[in-house]
Structure 1
C-alpha cells in the first residue's frame, strides 16, 4: 500500500464515500482505485460456514459424559465427621479439666488472701504461700496441701487434713495456724484438738498448745495468743534464728537480703510490725548491733 493512501486515510474515506472529486481523479490516474475495488469485491465473496447448533450440543454432552464428577455428598460427610471429632475432643478436654476439680490458690510477696472452702471452712493465706485442694472430692476427703503459712477455721464434719512438705495435721473441727517454711515448721491450736504427724512420731495438741519442729523432733509447747499475729501484720519471735526471721521478711517485702553465714544462727527476740521496710530492718539489725545499708534497688548490704 502506498504511503499516500496511509497518510491521508483515503481508504476509510473512500469506503464511506467521503472523497472529493479531485481525490477520486487522482486515485484513478494512479491506478490505486482499481486495486481497492478488487479487494472489496473479493471480501463480498467471503462466507462463514453455517454452525449446526444441535450437533454442537450433542458433542458437548458426549464430552461431559466422560468427566468423573466430585462426590460433594461424601466430601461434606467427611468434613462433618472431622468437625464432630474436633468438637468432641475439645468438649472432653474441657470436661476433664473442669470436672477434675483441682484448685490452687497462690499469694505473692506482701499479699494475704481469704479463701472460703466448700462447706464453709475459712482459710487465711499468708504472703508467698499456696494451698491446693479438690473441690469435687471435698465431701469425701477434706484434704488440703499447704506451702507456706495459713490460718484455718474448720467447720465440723469429717476429718480435715492439711499436708505440708514437712508434716501432716489432722483435725475434726477447730481453729489453728500452720507455718511450713524451709527453715521452720510450727502448728498453733486456738480451738479444738489437732494431731500433728511427722515421720514416725505424732503429737496431739489442744487450745493454747503448739508444736514446733526442732532438730528433727516435734516439741510440744504452750502459747497465750487467741489467733495468729501475722493476720494483724505483726510477727513475734522468741529466740528465733536470724536466718528464719530474714526468711519471713522476704515474704512480706520485695527485698534482696544475702545474710552472711556468721549471722544465720544468731537469735532474735522481739516483735516486728510489717508496715515499712526501713523500720523492719532497723528493728532487727539495730537491735542485734549489725551494721547494714539499704540501696535504692532494695538490696541490703552488710558492712
Structure 2
C-alpha cells in the first residue's frame, strides 16, 4: 500500500471508486478494483440469490402486467394479451379503489442489486413484497411500456418506436368499456407522452428532465381528477445510467432523488385509495465505452424487480 493510505483498499472496492484518493495507485488497489468490477458483472439473478437467499422468486413476464392491472381493477383483460394475472399482486391489491403504476426507467435488477443500500425506501418495499419480471425483446422503453398496457409482446402490439401505433387493445380500452378512466403523466419527447399519452383518457405532458414536476403532477391529478388508473415514467435513472453506466458511483445522488420521489408518491397516493405497483420497463448494462446500454436479452437488460403496496 502507498504510504498515504488512510483507509483499507476494500473501502474503494466496495464503492467501486477509481482512482483511490487516499493513496497512489498500486498493484493491490488495482487488483481490488478489478475484482470488484468483475464481481459486479455477475448476472443479477446470481447476485440476487447470493445476497438475498430468502428472497428467491419465480420470474414472471412483462406480458403479465396488463392482465394483473385488469384483474385488480375488475375490468376485461385486453384482447391479445399473452400473459395472465400475477396472483400474488392481485391478491394483495384486490379491492383497491384505484391503481397507480410508477415506472423508474431502466431501474432493473442489475442496478438495484448494486445500489440497493442507496435506495432504502424502494428496497424496503422490495424486501416486503416482490416478484422478478423479464422484459420482452427488444428490451427498450417503447416496446415494454406497450407490453405493460396490452399484455402482448412486439408481435402483438407492433410497437418498435414511440411514434408507432398500437395494433391491439390496451388497458385504456377496457377501462373505457367499463366506464372508467386512465391517466398518464410524462415528459416531453419520452415514451410516456409520445406513445402512452395518445391512448390515456387524461394525458399530461411536462418539460424534459423534470421528474420532480412529474411526481407533483401525478399527485395533483390523483387528488383532483381521481382516475381509476394512472401510470408515470421517471426518466432520470435511465438518463444517468446511459451517461455514466449503471455500476458507476456517479449515479448514486440520482438514485437518492428517485427513492425520495417514490416515497413521496406512495405516501400521497395510498390515502387517495390507490394501490401501488412499482416496476421498470427494462434494465441496463455497462459498456466498454463507459456508458450504459440496453436492448439485449441479457439478464442485466431484461430482469426487473416489481414491488407493490397499499
Q: Same fold (TM over 0.5)?
A: no
TM-score normalised by structure 1 residue count? 0.23
TM-score normalised by structure 2 residue count? 0.22
Structure of higher RCO (CA pairs closer than 8 Å, 6+ residues apart): 2
Specify which structure has the higher proportion of helix: 2
**Structure possessing the higher radius of gyration over alpha carbons:** 1
